[in-house]
Amino acid sequence: MANQQLFLGIDCGTQGTKALILDATSGQVLGQGAAAHSMISGANGRREQDTQQWLDAFTQATHQALAAAGVDGQAILGIGVSGQQHGLVLLDDQGQVLRPAKLWCDTETTPENDRLLAHLGGEDGSLERLGVVIAPGYTVSKLLWTREQHPQVFERIASVLLPHDFLNYWLTGRHCSEYGDASGTGYFNVRTRQWDVQLLQHIDPSARLQAALPELIEAHQPVGRILPAIAAHLGINPEAVVASGGGDNMMGAIGTGNIQPGVITMSLGSSGTVYAYAAEPAVSPQPSVATFCSSSGGWLPLICTMNLTNATGAIRELLDLDIDAFNALVAKAPIGAEGVCMLPFLNGERVPALPHATGSLLGLTTTNLTRANLCRAVVEGTTFGLRYGLDLLRANGLQAQSIRLIGGGSKSAQWRQIVADTMDTTVICTEQSEAAALGAAIQAAWCHSGSQTGLAELCERCVKLDPSSETRPIAAHVAASQQAYERYRQHVATL
C-alpha cells in the first residue's frame, strides 16, 4: 500500500459535517464519518449556528472517517474544506468569534438587502456592477444588519470570513478566501475577481470592513500547513497541506467532474441546485442565474431553488409514508398526476423568483384527489422548478450532453426518470453521493501536487459514475411531461 496518497475531504453543511478519506492514487474513498449540527431559529427568519459546533463536528467526523478507513492520520497529505455558502463569521482581533454565524437560509436581513439593492440601482445595477444580483441569503446584507442591530459587536470586527474560510483559519491560522466562495458574498466582482471595497465603505465609511477582508487566493493555491496543535487534536500529519477549499456548490462541481463544459450537475437536496462549468464569465441577464466563479479556475453559472426534499418530506409526513411507500405511490400515478399540480413554494421561492409565495395544490377534482397523485405532484412540482432554472441556463448558451445527479432525491429511480423526462436529457448518478466532501479531497490532492494542471486527471480517476443509475428520457414520457410542465408554468404565471 506504499503508493497510497491519502487526503481528507470535509463538507461543513447546514445539517452537519461529513468527512471522507480519499486515496488519490486508486481514486477510492476508503472511509467516511459524519456529525450533526443544530440551528438557532427565530420566527423572523433568523437562521444561525454556533461555530463551535462546526469545530466539534469536524473533529468527530474526521476521527470516524479515519477509523472507518483503517488508516493512520499521520499518512494524510492534505485537507480540503467545503462549506455552506454565504454564511457570515465575525472574529475580533484575538481571533475569537464575536457572535453565532448567520447562514445562507437566514431571511432576517431582507430589509437590509432591499436597501443595498436599491443603492446598487436594483437588479440591473447589481448585475452590471457585481455580475450577480444580491439576495437576502448573501453575506453583504448580514454586515449591514450587524452594524445596525449589534453596533458593539460591529465595532470589534477584525476579520470577516465565510464558513469555509473560518475552518481554514482554524486549521492554519491564516485569513484567506478563494474566488468561488467569495462570489456569494455580494461584495465581490465575479468578472474582475476582486472585492468591491466601495460597497463595504457604503455600509461603513470607517474602512473597518475593508481592513477585515481576507486575502484572495487562486483555487490551486494551498492556504498553508495545518497548525501543530490542531494536527495533534485531529490526529493528523502536521505536514498536511490545507487546500484553498470552497463553497459547497463549487466543491460539488469538482466532486462530480464538472470542470469543463458539457456536464450539468443537479443536486436534489433540501434545496435544489443546477450548475455547469463555463470558461468565461458570460453573465446572464436573468437575475435568478448566479454567475459564480468556480473553484477550478473558471466560472459556475448556477440556479438554486429553495424547495426540494423539504417539500417531498412534508407530503410524506402528512400521509405517514416511508420512502419506499412514497416512491411506490409516485410510480403508480400517471405523468401529470391526472391534473393535480403542486407549487411547492413552502419557503417562498428563488427560481421562479417568488420570494413571498406560499405552496399550493391546484387542479383538484373529486376523482383525482388521491395519495398517489399528491405524491407524484410534489415530485413533479419540485422538478419543474429545476427545469425552469435549467431553461434559464440554456438560454444563456449552456449546452449539456448529460446531467449528473447528486443529493438524497437522486437515490430514487422514480425521481431520476422524472428528471430525465422533464429535462429531456440522460441522467446518471455519481457513485459517491457526498460530492462536496469528495470534491474537497480532490482539490486537496490538486493543491498538494503543486501544479495548475492535473485537476482533470484527478477527476478522471476519483469521480466514478454509477452505470446502474443511468436513466434515459422516454419519448412518450417527454411529451407528457412537457404538457404537465406547461400547465405548471401557467399556474406560476398567475402568481
Kindly state whether residues 243 and 261 are assigned to the same domain. no
What pLDDT score does 401 carry?
A: 85
Kindly state whether residues 234 and 267 are assigned to the same domain. no
**Distance between CA atoms of residues 91 and 99, nearest Å:** 8
Kindly state whether residues 105 and 157 are assigned to the same domain. yes
Residue 455 placed within a domain: no
What pLDDT score does 216 carry?
A: 98
Residue 470 placed within a domain: yes
Spatial contact of 311 and 330, defined as CB atoms under 8 Å apart = no
Kindly state whether residues 314 and 287 are assigned to the same domain. yes
Q: pLDDT tens digits for 248-283?
A: 999 999 999 999 999 999 999 888 999 999 999 889
CATH number at residue 203: 3.30.420.40
Kindly state whether residues 203 and 310 are assigned to the same domain. no
SS3 category, 119 = helix
Choosing from 184, 218, 247, the residue where a domain stops is: 247
Residue 321 placed within a domain: yes
End-to-end CA distance of the chain: 60
Rounded percentage of the chain residues whose pLDDT exceeds 90: 92
**Distance between CA atoms of residues 36 and 173, nearest Å:** 25
* Confidence band, pLDDT 50/70/90 cuts, at residue 399: confident
Mean pLDDT along residues 174-178: 97
Kindly state whether residues 135 and 181 are assigned to the same domain. yes
Residue 422 placed within a domain: yes
Spatial contact of 32 and 46, defined as CB atoms under 8 Å apart = no
Q: Is 248 a catalytic residue?
A: yes
Residue 436 placed within a domain: no
Report which of 388, 381, 391 is spatially closest to residue 346, judged by C-alpha positions: 381
* Grid coordinates belonging to 57: 463536528
**Distance between CA atoms of residues 342 and 242, nearest Å:** 45
Kindly state whether residues 240 and 270 are assigned to the same domain. no
What pLDDT score does 2 carry?
A: 53
Report which of 85, 122, 90 is spatially closest to residue 105, judged by C-alpha positions: 85
C-alpha angle 162-408-344 in degrees, rounded to nearest 5:
85
Q: pLDDT tens digits for 430-468?
A: 999 899 999 999 999 999 998 877 999 999 999 999 999
- Counting every residue written for the chain, the total comes to 495
Spatial contact of 178 and 82, defined as CB atoms under 8 Å apart = no
Kindly state whether residues 308 and 211 are assigned to the same domain. no
What pLDDT score does 306 carry?
A: 87
Kindly state whether residues 275 and 227 are assigned to the same domain. no
**Distance between CA atoms of residues 324 and 147, nearest Å:** 49
* Average pLDDT over all residues of the chain: 96
Mean pLDDT along residues 218-230: 97
What pLDDT score does 436 carry?
A: 96
The predicted model scores a pTM of 0.94
Spatial neighbors of 364 by CB under 8 A, at least 6 apart, are 340
Distance of CA 286 to the CA centre of its chain: 20
Provide the phi-psi class of 485: left if phi over 0, else alpha when psi is between -120 and 50, else beta: alpha
Choosing from 212, 247, 282, the residue where a domain stops is: 247
Kindly state whether residues 111 and 167 are assigned to the same domain. yes
What pLDDT score does 81 carry?
A: 98
Spatial contact of 283 and 131, defined as CB atoms under 8 Å apart = yes
**Domain that includes residue 161, residue range:** 6-247
Q: pLDDT tens digits for 44-87?
A: 889 999 999 999 999 999 999 999 999 999 999 999 999 999 99
370, pLDDT greater than 90: yes
Residue 374 placed within a domain: yes
Please name the amino acid found at residue 318: L
What pLDDT score does 464 carry?
A: 97
Please name the amino acid found at residue 387: R
Choosing from 215, 247, 279, the residue where a domain stops is: 247
Q: pLDDT tens digits for 385-395?
A: 999 999 999 99
Residue 267 placed within a domain: yes
More confident site: 60 or 357: 60
Kindly state whether residues 116 and 135 are assigned to the same domain. yes
Kindly state whether residues 239 and 337 are assigned to the same domain. no
Helices and strands (H, E) in the chain, number of each type = 18, 25
Q: How many domains does the chain have?
A: 2
* Grid coordinates belonging to 410: 437522486
**Distance between CA atoms of residues 252 and 432, nearest Å:** 11
Residue 445 placed within a domain: no
Please tell me which residue in 11, 248, 324, 424 is annotated as part of the active site: 248
